[in-house]
């Protein structure tokens, strides 16, 4: 964790927040510039009264979210206003976004395409389907956010109870038969 300097007390007894904000800004800007995934974007950071403000342009939603995570990881930053825009070089169609999202989902072994699908419109992706593990939804969201052209990911995926195996079905039937057997 990176921390800022303590606030200085002014003659009137109030605290000079600008010193702490300036050190937080410098720490945040340095972390953004040193990050291997973000250094090529020339992102700008400012801190006012402990609130970080991020600006710039990145290629994919995952990079925007990564920058916000970096800012939130700095001790002394209370809130993050993430105004980073997601923009790709040239136009990208919804079908191209759908294709790229499907590639990202398929590339992640923790996402089963039989459980989760995606559809996009104007860069906004909606995940649909049914899963038994809620973690699969979060993994799919992160994977979809890596696709070119994605500006937002929403989930309409439902979590359902796991299906019973044949063995479990058999044993539940045997147990039910024992409970309802009139011969007992």
pLDDT of residue 68: 97
* Lowest-confidence segment of 83-92, 139-148, 162-171 by average pLDDT: 162-171
- Whether the per-residue pLDDT at 143 is higher than 70: the answer is yes
Domains of the chain are 8-86 (3.30.1340), 94-159 (3.30.1340.30)
Per the model's pLDDT, the better-predicted residue between 23 and 169 turns out to be 23
Which two structure tokens, joined as six digits, stand for 63? Answer: 């990079």
- Whether the per-residue pLDDT at 98 is higher than 60: the answer is yes
Q: Is 17 helix (H, G, I), strand (E, B) or coil?
A: helix
- Whether the per-residue pLDDT at 181 is higher than 60: the answer is no
Cα 157 from Cα 128, distance rounded (Å): 5
Q: Is 106 helix (H, G, I), strand (E, B) or coil?
A: helix
Q: Which residues pair with 82 in a beta bridge?
A: 54
Q: For the segment 13-45, what is each residue's pLDDT rounded down to a tens digit?
A: 545 566 699 999 999 999 999 999 998 999 999
What values do phi and psi take at 99, rounded to 5?
A: -60, -45
Nearest to 103 by CA among 153, 143, 64: 143
């Amino acid at each position: 964790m990176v921390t800022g300097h303590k606030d200085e007390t002014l003659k009137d007894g109030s605290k000079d927040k600008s010193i702490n904000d300036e050190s937080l800004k410098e720490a945040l800007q340095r972390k953004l510039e040193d990050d291997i995934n973000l250094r090529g974007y020339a992102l700008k950071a400012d801190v006012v009264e402990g609130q970080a403000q991020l600006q710039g342009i990145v290629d994919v939603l995952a990079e925007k979210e990564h920058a916000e995570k970096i800012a939130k990881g700095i001790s002394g930053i209370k809130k993050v206003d993430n105004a980073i825009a997601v923009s790709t070089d040239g136009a990208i169609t919804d079908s191209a976004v759908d294709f790229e999202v499907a590639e990202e989902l398929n590339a992640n072994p923790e996402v089963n395409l039989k459980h989760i699908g995606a559809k996009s419109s104007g860069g906004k992706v909606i995940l649909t389907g049914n899963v038994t593990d809620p973690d699969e939804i979060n993994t799919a969201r992160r994977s979809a956010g890596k696709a070119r052209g994605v500006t937002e990911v929403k989930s309409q995926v439902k979590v359902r109870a796991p299906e019973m195996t044949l063995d479990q079905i058999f044993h539940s039937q045997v147990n039910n038969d024992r409970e309802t057997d009139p011969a007992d």
